[in-house]
Chain A
């Protein structure tokens, strides 16, 4: 069965303290791995798509990378406005599966 596991469940950082979020997956026939940001009470907001191992994408303070078994979302010098839940989702041939997310809090 396709599975997506995100770690840690929650992460507290000081402003400027860089870190990484992990998304581990087991899926047959990966069609794409997606990162989303979700603020409380809102729908997820698309960040990145990664298709193959070795691929990297960047946007402002965020950088997403992909291997054959996991993806990382690196956050460089985070700011309080980066506080949110970050969701990873995997597209397999037969379904789309989300992880439970990492809840990031950045303290000023």
Chain B
């Protein structure tokens, strides 16, 4: 089955210790997204890639970076995690950039100690 895969499902890191979350997709979609979701809140878009074009949301902290080495993979790097970065991180894909539904992975639950 075509799907969106996120690894790891659970990640524990120390305050200030860099961490990388990964996402892969077998849907062959052009667009990949990273969202941050805190408990009982709406998913918040951090950035997205349309093919290789990177689009950063205006209020995404500089502490968050992303890489998309090829169509199938996308990474989220948190350079110096703070306690406020503890959240569920969701990766999603869609066929095109506007007006198309997004398909989500299962998420990575990040804990910062």
Contact = CB atoms under 8 A, between A and B. Distances in A.
A41 B107 contact: yes
User: Do most interface residues of chain A lie in helix, strand or loop, or is the interface mixed?
Assistant: strand
Nearest to A96: B45
Contacts of A95: 45, 57
B99 A44 contact: no
Interface string A23-39: 00000000110101000
Given A42-B106, A43-B90, A44-B90, A87 B101 contact: no
Given A43-B105, A45-B104, A46-B103, A93 B98 contact: yes
Interface stretch (A62-70, A72-80, A97-105): A97-105
Contacts of A4: 42
B68 interface: no
Contacts of A41: 88, 107, 109
A99 B42 CA distance: 5
A43 B37 CA distance: 10
A100 B102 contact: no
A102 B29 CA distance: 29
Contacts of B88: 41
Interface string A79-97: 0000000010101010111
Given A31-B98, A51-B99, A42 B42 contact: no
Nearest to B48: A96
B101 A98 contact: no
B98 to A, nearest CB: 5
B16 interface: no
Interface of A: 4, 31-32, 34, 36, 41-46, 49, 51, 87, 89, 91, 93, 95-101, 103
Interface of B: 4, 6, 33, 40-45, 57, 88, 90, 92, 98-107, 109
23 contacts: A31-B99, A32-B98, A32-B101, A34-B101, A34-B102, A36-B104, A43-B92, A43-B104, A43-B105, A43-B107, A44-B90, A46-B101, A49-B99, A89-B102, A91-B98, A91-B99, A95-B57, A96-B45, A96-B102, A97-B45, A98-B44, A101-B42, A103-B40
